[in-house]
Structure 1
Amino acid sequence: MGARTTRELAEFVVATGLKDIPAEVVDYAKILGLSHVGMNVAGTRMKMGQIVIRYVQAKGGVADAGIFGTGIRAPVEYATIANANAAHATELEDDSFPETMYSCGHWPPVFALSEKLNLSGARLLEALILGYEVAARLGLAFDKGMKKGWASWAALGTIGNAAAASKLMGLNVDQTVAAISLAASQSAGILKQTGSGAHIVEAGFSGRNGICAAELASMGYTGQPDILEGSHGFGYLWADTPAFDLALGDGYRIYAVGIKKYPCCFFKHRNMDGLLGLIREHNIRWDDVSSIDHGINVTHSQILKYDQPTSAEEARFSLPHCTVACFFDETVFLSSFSDEKAVDPKWREARKKVSVTVHQDWPKGGVEAFDSPITVTMKDGTVYSKLCHDSPGEPDNSRFGVSDVLAKYGKCMEFAGIFSDREIKEIESSVIGIDEVKDVSRLASLLTFPKRLQAN
């Protein structure tokens, strides 16, 4: 439907059920769930994930929902912050473009709220898909906001999460309108934060604030019912867009989510895959390389901004660091991005061989805007080059299926090292079949309380 007002958006959320969503979309959402669960668990073992877990644990409160892989339960909003932050700490979150929306901000609130309310997996999926649809469609309509420096994934994700939480709580249209309005007042996120902890935890804020908005609305709290549209509405203030027409449900945007292969910014994935292909094809050894150059546009240069990163977070947005990892590490995965490797003199010296040429005249935009050339010049003068077009896992050209996601999930669980093989298989089976799960709280308990952790 074409939604032009806050109320029409709320009407879509209230009226649409899982039965109205194409089966292929539902099936794809389920494998996205497995991808998310793996990164969520892995992130709880990482420094940035553990800082927020400690913050949440110190708050105490009602034990509504679990923080995966920790043996800790917390109030629903705090469990959401911890899980979303942990998932995003890996930078393995799955994204859709050009709206630039990420999955790691959407799974944790629906998981936590479904656990608290003892809801079914079908209800969880329904809310997830609809919430993502709201956020992503707003992202497409309000694209000028990103150009101004706002982070659509966090700000618009908050509104989408309010819609999802409203669906899970069974709110009516008026209440859902209020939830969206209250969420708009809590929507924030700044593009410049990429490469920092603030960028990571924004995923948690968007889930927490979305749930808060829906819970307040359920109690009778209100907001302006036309908050998104018109003069001085959210669209006007955030993106200079006072009018919009959202094609809600016209090809659900969650089906456009690309599944990440590497734990770093999606903008680098095709370059990494292309470079690894050149290395295999020509048996290239690092010691024989004189220089490597990547060609990118202005948009990518604003995100991939760290030539010499000083932390794991900056390394995930550094093309030179990823380039070196392709040579130095047997497999480029979570351990390739650490504080230690970021400042290691060997890695720092190696990154000096890598240059990034920013082409000011190329079209602006994400991976859809241009093809990225890689040029490897050897010390003997030989030159190897490749024009990188497709990112692995990108839906339009190389959509990942169940086997690809199982591999990613397995690597994440291995990295975490806290679940037994039997538990890993049981979680895998439950998530892939989550639409048949009668009560999400059992799955959440399995994810929260690994037996190895309890034994210690």
Structure 2
Amino acid sequence: MTVTFEQVAEFILQRPACEMPEDVQEWAALMLLDTLGVLIAAGPMEAGVIARDTAVSLYASNDPSFTARLLFDGRKASLAGAAYAAATQTDNLDAHDGFNPTKGHIGVVVAPALTALAEHCPELTGPEALATVIVGYEIAGRAGLALHATVSDYHTSGAWNALGVAAMAARLRGFTQDQLRQALGIAEYHGPRSQMMREIANPTMLHDGSGWGALVGMSAALLAERGFTGAPAITIEEDRAVPYWDDLGDVWQMCQQYVKPYPICRWAHAAIDGVRLLMQEHALTHEQIETIRINSFHEAACLYRGLPQTTSQAQYSLPFAVAAYAVHGQIGVAQITGDGLSDPDIAALINRIEVSERDRHNARFPDGRWADVQIVTKDGQDFHSGDLNARGGPDTPFSREDIIEKFRAFAAPCIGPDRADRIEKAVLGLADTKSRFSDLAKLLYHPPRADPDLSA
């Protein structure tokens, strides 16, 4: 069966929450929780501070019906500005979920779009909020697949997750099919087709283009709402795109997202996991290691090789990530910011790490992120991990408890355990038909250490 635009529109605008499977709604809640944890932890980082200040300065609104508060900040910007700030902030702590086939990320724009739009949906139910999350993932994911299959360059997530944001806005703001069609066309046309491998070669705060994807997607929807035209979106309506939409509503990409255990580019995760496995199995310390040899796929081998000077470089560096894990037994915000960037033990070990690509790992990309690791100790022992795929994806998923524990680890240090606990309970309770998104929203807009007024 070939899915028509009208059927895509029906899914976006009219598919009720009750017709979305319970396990899909559960996964939507978990991904929302995971993204909020990353967003919270990213708040004090320089990129997030700059993004929020810029949204207030450049992307504000003098119309209250088009404003939204900045998450864990409280200042106001336009709907597009609020989505931009939160997505840019999240994108700069590379711990948010991703979708292997698109080589990119969706939740990074979905959570910011939902929280901005919900400011003007006071009666939004928990199930409808989750349905909107699902729409964002399903539309962005398929648009990403279609784009990758029909163009020659490798574009960042912002190029296609803009369509997911536009679809979410269309659903929550009650668009007609024609308004939706125009919004998707505008979002695709102006979506930031930034070149991902340029960022890999020179890591900066640009990251995966998702801040601009959120800004474009929200702006596109509001333009279409006022009558601006922009259809059609060729990633949906062109003949070559058809195969990526035929299973909409039957196969749920929502449940195929991976969860990151480390705030590092996903391409480095299998190598980190290999070092983790060997060090745990053989009770090794970093002082015992003479060399680490890593074989992975081409894109992983292209990650930053030098000693990082910035957080962005650290998050896109495979040798740094491996060395940081070997030295500290973990990789968190502390390892990729501040004094963590000048750790002498990490610097010394980086010089003894070799990275190469292998055809068998290349053949498995992008469906998997594979590597194998060899550790040779100073006393001549030689350990091999065998081929490993990065943990947390559909083949080796994290449990519900794992995801919740990750949220706590990221959120509690910034906002306190009590507020983190209340956010956790509110998010995980959204599937309850009696729940209201406003119960969660009360916890999301005050600055990190403020005590939210739950009566507001």
With the length of structure 1 as denominator, give the TM-score of the two structures.
0.89
Please state if 1:300 is matched with 2:297: no
Pick the aligned partner of 2:186 from 182, 186, 189.
182
* Paired residues for 1:54-73 under 5 Å: 54-59=53-58, 60-61=60-61, 64-73=67-76
Distance 1:21 1:316, change over 3 A: same
- 1:42 CA drift (Å): 0.9
Note the alpha carbon deviations across 1:359-394, whole angstroms, 9 max, x for none.
257534536457421000112211011024232211
Q: Which residue of 1 aligns with 2:263?
A: 263
Q: Which residue of 1 aligns with 2:114?
A: 110
* Paired residues for 1:174-213 under 5 Å: 174-188=178-192, 189-191=194-196, 192-194=198-200, 195-199=203-207, 202-213=209-220
Q: Which residue of 1 aligns with 2:328?
A: 329
Distance 1:223 1:324, change over 3 A: same
- 1:433 CA drift (Å): 0.9
Pick the aligned partner of 1:133 from 120, 135, 138.
138
Distance 1:218 1:377, change over 3 A: same
- For the 8 Å contact 1:306–1:317, the answer to whether it is kept is no
- 1:11 CA drift (Å): 3.5
C-alpha distance in structure 1 between counterparts of 2:232 and 2:267, whole Å: 37
Residue aligned with 2:372, SS? strand
Please state if 1:219 is matched with 2:217: no
- For the 8 Å contact 2:270–2:372, the answer to whether it is kept is no
Distance 1:77 1:439, change over 3 A: farther
Residue aligned with 1:112, SS? helix
Larger CA deviation: 445-454 vs 95-104: 445-454
C-alpha distance in structure 2 between counterparts of 1:3 and 1:161, whole Å: 21
Q: Which residue of 2 aligns with 1:443?
A: 440
Q: Which residue of 1 aligns with 2:159?
A: 155
Larger CA deviation: 364-373 vs 180-189: 364-373
Residue aligned with 2:206, SS? helix
- 1:343 CA drift (Å): 4.6
Q: Which residue of 2 aligns with 1:391?
A: 390
C-alpha distance in structure 1 between counterparts of 2:120 and 2:435, whole Å: 14
Residue aligned with 1:283, SS? coil
Residue type of the partner of 2:132? A
Pick the aligned partner of 1:422 from 418, 430, 444.
418
Note the alpha carbon deviations across 1:245-295, whole angstroms, 9 max, x for none.
512122110110011111111222222122112112212122221100110
- For the 8 Å contact 1:363–1:369, the answer to whether it is kept is no
- 1:77 CA drift (Å): 1.3
Q: Which residue of 1 aligns with 2:400?
A: 402
Q: Which residue of 2 aligns with 1:91?
A: 94
- For the 8 Å contact 1:85–1:204, the answer to whether it is kept is yes
Please state if 1:452 is matched with 2:455: no
C-alpha distance in structure 1 between counterparts of 2:383 and 2:32, whole Å: 39
Q: Which residue of 1 aligns with 2:48?
A: 49
Residue aligned with 1:136, SS? helix
- For the 8 Å contact 2:148–2:154, the answer to whether it is kept is no
Note the alpha carbon deviations across 1:50-77, whole angstroms, 9 max, x for none.
1111212334535632322223232221
Residue aligned with 2:444, SS? helix
Residue type of the partner of 2:383? Y
Q: Which residue of 2 aligns with 1:238?
A: none
Gaps of 5+ in 2: none
Residue type of the partner of 2:442? S
Residue type of the partner of 1:198? L
Residue type of the partner of 2:80? E
Note the alpha carbon deviations across 1:164-202, whole angstroms, 9 max, x for none.
1111111121111111111112111321224321125x2
Note the alpha carbon deviations across 1:289-340, whole angstroms, 9 max, x for none.
11001101223334x2334333111111211111111122243212111254
Gaps of 5+ in 1: 236-240
- 1:80 CA drift (Å): 0.9
- For the 8 Å contact 2:43–2:89, the answer to whether it is kept is yes
Larger CA deviation: 111-120 vs 291-300: 111-120
C-alpha distance in structure 1 between counterparts of 2:435 and 2:27, whole Å: 20
> Percent identity, aligned pairs only?
24
Q: How many correspondences in the alignment?
A: 440
Residue aligned with 1:452, SS? coil
C-alpha distance in structure 2 between counterparts of 1:326 and 1:275, whole Å: 8
Residue type of the partner of 1:446? L
Aligned alpha-carbon RMSD (Å)? 2.5
Distance 1:42 1:363, change over 3 A: closer
Distance 1:356 1:446, change over 3 A: same
Larger CA deviation: 159-168 vs 438-447: 438-447
C-alpha distance in structure 1 between counterparts of 2:134 and 2:315, whole Å: 28
Note the alpha carbon deviations across 1:1-51, whole angstroms, 9 max, x for none.
7435x5543243223221221111111111111111111111111111111
Residue type of the partner of 1:443? L
C-alpha distance in structure 2 between counterparts of 1:278 and 1:329, whole Å: 15
Q: Which residue of 2 aligns with 1:121?
A: 126
